[in-house]
Amino acid sequence: MSTVVHHTTVVTADAGRRVLTDAALAVEGDRIIDLGPAEEVLARHPDAERIAGRGKVVMPGFANCHTHFTLTLNRGIQEDFSFPSTLRFPRAAADYLHPEEREVFAQLGALEAIRSGTTAAFEIGRNLDGYADALAECGIRIVLGETAADLDQPKAAREHVFEFNEARGEAGLERIEALHASHHGAGDGRISVAVAAHAPEAVSPRLLRRLRDLAERLDTIATVHLNQSWWEVEAVRDTRGVLPAEYLFQQDFLWPRLVAGHCRCMGTREVALLGRSRAWVSFNAAIAARRGYSPRIADLAAAGSPIAMGSDNMAEDMVEVMRTGLFMERVRTGDGERPTPDDVLQWATANGHRALGLEESGSLEVGKQADFIIVDTRRAHLVPAMRFVSAFVHQGQGRDVESMMVGGRWVMRDGQVVTMDEDRTVRDAERIARRAWRQLLEDYPEVPFPVHLDTAEPVWAGE
Ligand SMILES: [Zn+2]
């Protein structure tokens, strides 16, 4: 059975950045099998299910190249306390979650991602096996970046003392191998497993080399948080005598299959080194703006780094990430014309998928995977839609996405997410988050917390 979306606008995000009007896109199985003028495509597929596309736009879904779904638990709180966080609790709210409760926040993140048009996400963190199955069921493509580090991180944060422990690093390597064995290729191939080094200050030269070797052996991509804060820059200078990107270069940890997240506190020499390596930069614009940072994206791109985008903590909305990224770069460079909306859309779609090793998704072309979203343009903030990409990057909202297909299967259709129980996930998340934060605040009444949290049991989200 094939499906044709017809008489619609198709934003291809292909190499020529073509936008086709009065077009149709045909899908069979997991693939795009036809694309072109509507009447011609319909004539070639007379028996296909027809979906009327007038007033709508079909475009590739977004690839979120750096996120932590479960940190949705901290939404509305940690956005306002900088990085590293100025909140000094000895534990995190996440420590108060049972394993099945942690799964709820992974689902909440995935739900928000789907609703705002993300078809592929790089989920980075520790012990991802606890919710990998739940993510496999949500229907989008997920790269699981299981994280390794050998630094005693609490001690480093507390005392600025950097102690590395070989057994801790080995345990991380074992977790990556185990997750790869159990989940790589799961969910009909939508799940893949990658190698994640936490951050330059948290990984010794020995562990960096072991992680690079593991990525080569598993034939997978890798990631690292890079030049995220001035605290990190200072820590690496103190312990290694060089800057973070220089340290990774020295340890042969910059290569084209690495996704370097953030890249915001960087010196000129580091920009050049990273660019020459052709490692990907994940421009995590919205969180960077919240933290008061603005990475030198135009310089990184000019040096040779291909650019992708990510949301990082507490939010999964790539529409917001695209717009924030465009705004930030224009303000930073004082250039009212660049980057263009088409540049930013390419970062968030085709580039992002390539960064994640998903070469068969990210643009709408015959033979590629049927991964796309349908946006309804008949809204006050999107008309006139004569130049849709610009209108969408400047004015679009995540909620404008009404349908999503991944690998030929509907994930959301006409505003309904079909792979998850949305109502239950939202209720559970509200109730559990209030309890976890309430417990944290009760356990540490002496820790300064300069905001008021309403942690009362919410009536609407009762069990
Ligand atoms: Zn991160």
Q: Which two tokens stand for residue 112?
A: 């928000």
- Tell me how far apart the alpha carbons of residues 215 and 365 are, in angstroms, rounded to a whole number: 30
Confidence of residue 405 (pLDDT cuts 50, 70, 90): very high
User: Is 174 domain-assigned?
Assistant: yes
Distance 83 CA to ligand 1 centre (A): 11
If one counts the domains in the chain, the total is 1
User: Is 450 domain-assigned?
Assistant: no
- Tell me how far apart the alpha carbons of residues 121 and 140 are, in angstroms, rounded to a whole number: 8
- Tell me how far apart the alpha carbons of residues 413 and 429 are, in angstroms, rounded to a whole number: 23
User: Is 112 domain-assigned?
Assistant: yes
Distance 90 CA to ligand 1 centre (A): 20
Distance 70 CA to ligand 1 centre (A): 11
Q: Which two tokens stand for residue 38?
A: 């509507």
280 close to 259: Cβ distance less than 8 angstroms: yes
| Mean pLDDT, residues 380-393 taken together | 96
Count CB neighbours of 158 within 10 A: 11
Distance 259 CA to ligand 1 centre (A): 12
CA nearest to 30, candidates 408, 410, 404: 408
How do beta strands 56-59 and 191-197 pair? unpaired
Largest CA distance in the chain: 72
Mean per-residue pLDDT of the chain = 97
CA nearest to 346, candidates 145, 59, 123, 141: 59
Summarize pLDDT for 321-332 with one digit per residue, the tens.
Answer: 999 999 999 999
Instruction: Check whether 258 has a pLDDT greater than 90.
Output: yes
Instruction: Check whether 45 has a pLDDT greater than 90.
Output: yes
Region of residue 216 (left: phi > 0; alpha: psi -120 to 50; beta: else)? alpha
User: Is 44 domain-assigned?
Assistant: no
User: Is 251 domain-assigned?
Assistant: yes
DSSP result, 57-104: EEEPPEEEEEE-GGGGGGTTTGGGSTTTTS---SS-GGGG--HHHHHH
| Mean pLDDT, residues 194-208 taken together | 98
Distance 384 CA to ligand 1 centre (A): 37
- Domain of 280 in residue numbering reads as 62-355
Task: Kindly report the pTM of this predicted structure.
Answer: 0.98
| Mean pLDDT, residues 209-230 taken together | 98
Instruction: Check whether 462 has a pLDDT greater than 80.
Output: no
Looking at the chain, the number of H-run helices and the number of E-run strands are 16, 17
Instruction: Check whether 35 has a pLDDT greater than 80.
Output: yes
Buried b (16+ CB within 10 A) or exposed e, 331-364: eebeeeeebebebbbbbbbbbbbbbbbbeebbbb
User: Is 312 domain-assigned?
Assistant: yes
Distance 18 CA to ligand 1 centre (A): 33
User: Is 50 domain-assigned?
Assistant: no
User: Is 389 domain-assigned?
Assistant: no
Summarize pLDDT for 47-98 with one digit per residue, the tens.
Answer: 999 999 999 999 999 999 999 999 999 999 999 999 999 999 999 999 999 9
Give me the CATH number covering residue 94.
Answer: 3.20.20.140
Summarize pLDDT for 262-304 with one digit per residue, the tens.
Answer: 999 999 999 999 999 999 999 999 999 999 999 999 999 999 9
Residue 463 is predicted with a pLDDT of 64
Distance 126 CA to ligand 1 centre (A): 12
